[in-house]
Structure 1
């Protein structure tokens, strides 16, 4: 299903279930928030985000070429207006999208997108699910040891699809790997990719006893 959505490109990959705090200060994005607040049904206050490719800037010279094609649909859930006209908002990832073209007739960035279906009905081998869970538990223990305090805390969901998105969002990975996980077409493939990436990360930490180069993202994950 195709539709036009406001776009808020980010320098990170957002996954379904993630909570994303944003400080809105540019006028074009203030206009986006103001328009969303005019939507009476809070569940319909949605916009899209796609990651900005490294080495490019979003602008007239690059346009859609500076953006990854697969991104996430976000629902605006919290808004705080500031005296200077800016907003502090929180949005939650609701699903995936594929960007087909940029729309230029609005006061804010927008795009024609295809909404991608979820994969909660996928059949996933139980042993793959448990392998991914076990590897992540070992990974965060090892990471906490290197960091000197407990990190990546919290319980993991039982649902395989939610689990795959949780692990994708919280494992400390570079943008290309995170984007590949977002683009994975089903839960089984995503969990298989995560198990490989977790093994690679733990081997790297064994060889170089220091924190991964990627900082913990300033985002959270929520199944709500």
Structure 2
């Protein structure tokens, strides 16, 4: 299925099922939110989230912009936006919008489905893309891999809690669905943005789980040797099974 979506490039990766708060303060994205608010109430408020490639920022090009190379002095893309953003992203459904003083907005969104960006229209206030939905395939051996990933992830959480001298409040309930588990682990693990993007782009659930199992085993080994490595709190990730 194809769909024309407003695009919201971010320095992070959104996954299906992940609940993400956003604070919108840049003018072009305030325009995006204002346009969403202007839609009829029975029309879904949604946009596409795409991760920005390292060292890039994305902005529409104006006809009267001064000529420049791929990046201007402020790090803003003035050439082809497709060079600055990853092509596989996630649709964000807007759960709530709150307007704040100064024209800012606070959004709460939930990732729903993955998409592939086919083309970009940069002629408006913000980027708009032609997107194609990516249907999730389970792949071979997803069930067995999910069990192994769950075990490795629980060990990972405990090692991180030990590194932070924190205490886990009981054993976290993890989803039984291999697909949902794969996205939860991808969202919760402390990994570089390119690796998180790689996990989003995996062609099926089994390949994502297999990659996560390798990563978790590596991280558990590193934490065993270096128990004081810094890490963020992985026990409070907001996640929806939808």
Q: Distance in 2 between matches of 1:219 and 1:50?
A: 20
Aligned in 2, Cα 1:197/1:42: closer, same or farther, shift over 3 Å?
A: farther
The alpha carbon displacement at 1:122 in A equals 5.0
The alpha carbon displacement at 1:176 in A equals 1.6
**2:190 matched to which residue of 1?**
172
Regions of 4+ moved over 4 Å? 214-219
Q: Distance in 1 between matches of 2:220 and 2:141?
A: 24
Aligned in 2, Cα 1:7/1:216: closer, same or farther, shift over 3 Å?
A: farther
Contact 1:146 1:210 in 2 (8 A): yes
**1:52 matched to which residue of 2?**
52
Q: Distance in 1 between matches of 2:140 and 2:227?
A: 38
What are the Cα deviations for residues 183-212 of structure 1, in whole angstroms up to 9, with x where unaligned? 001111111111000001111112222235
Aligned in 2, Cα 1:69/1:125: closer, same or farther, shift over 3 Å?
A: closer
Aligned in 2, Cα 1:204/1:42: closer, same or farther, shift over 3 Å?
A: farther
- Counting matched residue pairs gives 222
**2:24 matched to which residue of 1?**
24
Identify the match of residue 219 of structure 2 among 201, 204, 215: 201
Aligned in 2, Cα 1:28/1:209: closer, same or farther, shift over 3 Å?
A: same
Contact 2:30 2:104 in 1 (8 A): yes
- SS of the residue 1:197 aligns to: helix
**Where does 1:56-75 land on structure 2 (aligned, <5 Å)?**
56-58=56-58, 59-61=77-79, 63-75=81-93
Query: Rg bigger for which structure?
Result: 2
Aligned in 2, Cα 1:83/1:55: closer, same or farther, shift over 3 Å?
A: closer
Structure 1: unaligned runs, 5 residues or longer: none
Q: Distance in 2 between matches of 1:158 and 1:56?
A: 37
Of 77-86 and 202-211, deviating more is: 202-211
Q: Distance in 2 between matches of 1:39 and 1:63?
A: 26
Structure 1 length normalisation: TM-score?
0.90
**1:139 matched to which residue of 2?**
156
- SS of the residue 2:163 aligns to: helix
The alpha carbon displacement at 1:46 in A equals 0.8
